[in-house]
Chain A
């Protein structure tokens, strides 16, 4: 049973517009959430994270929002750039857990 779900396999956005990537989770014990970005033929790289004590975290063009009651988080990229085209993985962990659990990923395509 998937604990971290990314229900949109792909997303296409025009350069300069906002990209919104969504992630849902089922385990209420999760208290730390991360987004990773992956280019082809490379390993995933850390993008941004958020603790369950917050509902928003910003880093430049990237903002992650957490809605604990809905067990939902989203990654906003504003403005989107062609270099943002990649696969984005949502991941979650619990302090009582053992390792990060990843979603299946969403492929973002930003066209110029």
Chain B
């Protein structure tokens, strides 16, 4: 199916482990984003990418790494997970940086 898909849907990991959240879109959108949603904070931007091999930090980038070797994929890696990174992570894509975003269904991550 066309659209934007995230995997896994749910993930439980332990403090200190490396975790990678996957995001794939089939629209050939140039821009892709990672947001996290936490109670009391709404949606906060972690990283975004304007095109393949171009990435930039958002509001809360510490502890995260991204890459974009192909236009359709935008994985998010937590190099050494911490409890404060327990959250719901949403990937999104758009035609431009200020255009409407299309979101995936989210990954619920728990760091124990």
Contact = CB atoms under 8 A, between A and B. Distances in A.
Contacts of B44: 102
B110 to A, nearest CB: 15
B60 interface: no
B42 A42 contact: no
B74 interface: no
B105 A43 contact: yes
Interface stretch (A10-18, A63-71, A73-81, A90-98): A90-98
Contacts of B106: 41-43
A82 B79 CA distance: 42
Contacts of B56: 98
Interface stretch (B13-21, B61-69, B96-104): B96-104
Contacts of A45: 103
Given A43-B104, A44-B90, A45-B103, A98 B43 contact: no
A104 interface: yes
A102 B102 CA distance: 14
B70 interface: no
Interface of A: 6, 32, 34, 36, 41-46, 49, 89, 93-95, 97-105
Given A6-B42, A42-B105, A102-B44, 18 more contacts: A34-B100, A41-B105, A41-B106, A42-B106, A43-B92, A43-B103, A44-B43, A45-B103, A89-B42, A95-B98, A97-B97, A98-B58, A99-B58, A99-B97, A99-B98, A101-B45, A104-B40, A104-B42
27 contacts: A32-B98, A41-B106, A42-B105, A43-B90, A43-B92, A43-B105, A44-B43, A44-B101, A46-B100, A46-B101, A49-B100, A93-B98, A94-B98, A97-B97, A97-B98, A98-B48, A98-B58, A98-B97, A99-B58, A99-B97, A99-B98, A102-B42, A103-B42, A104-B40, A104-B41, A104-B42, A105-B42
